[in-house]
């Protein structure tokens, strides 16, 4: 129960932090800085989830739904920030770079930590 509560309560602050970083930093700096920042974001989300799982030891279904899937949602810092159909072409590329680099690093880190 505590695991679910912490997971749900983490949605708002992490989503707002991701949006803040995206609006104020990630979309304005060159990709050479954006990609490492997104990789760090994904790794950080995976590590925080790993620590929560070790602390709470939830059941398999709760771990998957309120752990890995919820954290995958949070690992994309700009998710839902912009309507992609209204974005210029160069911003769509930047949006994809931010989304896939952070989600990819989250997935890889989660797999490594799950079997470590």
DSSP 76: S
Of the candidates 112, 78, 74, 69, the residue with the CA atom closest to the CA atom of residue 97: 78
In this predicted model, what pLDDT tens digit does every residue of 52-94 receive, in sequence order? 999 999 999 999 999 999 999 999 998 878 777 788 887 888 8
Torsion sign (Cα): 85, 91, 96, 99:
negative
Give first-to-last CA distance, the chain, whole Å: 25
Q: Return the pLDDT at 91.
A: 82
Of the candidates 69, 50, 45, the residue with the CA atom closest to the CA atom of residue 112: 50
0.95 surpassed by pTM: no
CB atoms near residue 66 (< 10 Å): 20
């Amino acid at each position: 129960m505590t695991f679910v509560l912490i997971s749900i309560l983490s949605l708002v602050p992490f989503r707002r932090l991701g949006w803040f970083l995206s609006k104020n930093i990630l979309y304005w700096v060159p990709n050479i800085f954006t990609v490492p920042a997104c990789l760090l974001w994904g790794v950080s989300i995976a590590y925080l989830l790993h620590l929560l799982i070790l602390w709470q030891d939830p059941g398999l279904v709760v771990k998957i739904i309120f752990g890995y899937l919820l954290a995958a949602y949070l690992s994309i810092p700009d998710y839902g920030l912009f309507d992609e159909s209204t974005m210029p072409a160069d911003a769509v590329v930047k949006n994809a770079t931010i989304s896939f680099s952070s989600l990819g690093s989250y997935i890889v880190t989660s797999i490594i930590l799950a079997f470590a």
